[in-house]
Amino acid sequence: MQTLLAHKSNYSESGGRKIDYIVIHFTSNDGDTAKGNCNYFAGANRKASAHYFVDENEVWQSVPDKHVAWHCGARTYKHPSCRNANSIGIEMCSRKDANGQYYIAPETVARAIELTKQKMGEYGVTVDRVLRHYDVTGKLCPEPFVRNPELWDDFLGKL
């Protein structure tokens, strides 16, 4: 795993926080990389962030786990208790197919599963507390896993 920290204007520093959830996202880009996303968030005033970015080849950390990334904030929530302050955000880099539909490469999904399992073990997060961004706020993210819930079921089954 590589690290390139986000600019401090893109997340909240926190001392000790309890991590109760892991939230899975997608970047909604076509052909981006984990490193490229970290480079972007290293710039000031992006008004968003995530702890990790995952692509077919690498995992990059952008925000230290002990700090609060701004990955699932909203005006209204579907989930009663998952928030930025008690979760880790993992972004999967995405692609578009010939029809313009988003997909996430199988290698990216496999890396995201391994990272999620690692973080689950590290923080005692159970599989029922691994959520899609959609489950927290209703945003269509990760879009392929909302459009095709079987992909999400498969992801959870591998945890």
- In this prediction, residue 108 has a pLDDT band, given cuts at 50, 70 and 90, of very high
Nearest C-alpha neighbor of 61 from the set 1, 17, 117, 11 = 1
* CA pair distance 7, 49, nearest whole angstrom: 9
- In this prediction, residue 1 has a pLDDT band, given cuts at 50, 70 and 90, of very high
Q: What is the mean pLDDT of residues 107-115?
A: 98
* CA pair distance 116, 111, nearest whole angstrom: 9
- Evaluate if residue 16 carries a pLDDT over 90: no
pTM over 0.85: yes
DSSP state of 100: S
Q: What is the mean pLDDT of residues 6-18?
A: 92
Mean pLDDT score of the chain: 97
Say what the pLDDT of residue 14 is.
87
- How many percent of the chain have pLDDT more than 90? 97
Say what the pLDDT of residue 18 is.
95
Q: What radius of gyration do the chain's Cα atoms show?
A: 14
- Evaluate if residue 15 carries a pLDDT over 90: no
Structure confidence by residue, pLDDT tens digits, 124-156: 999 999 999 999 999 999 999 999 999 999 999
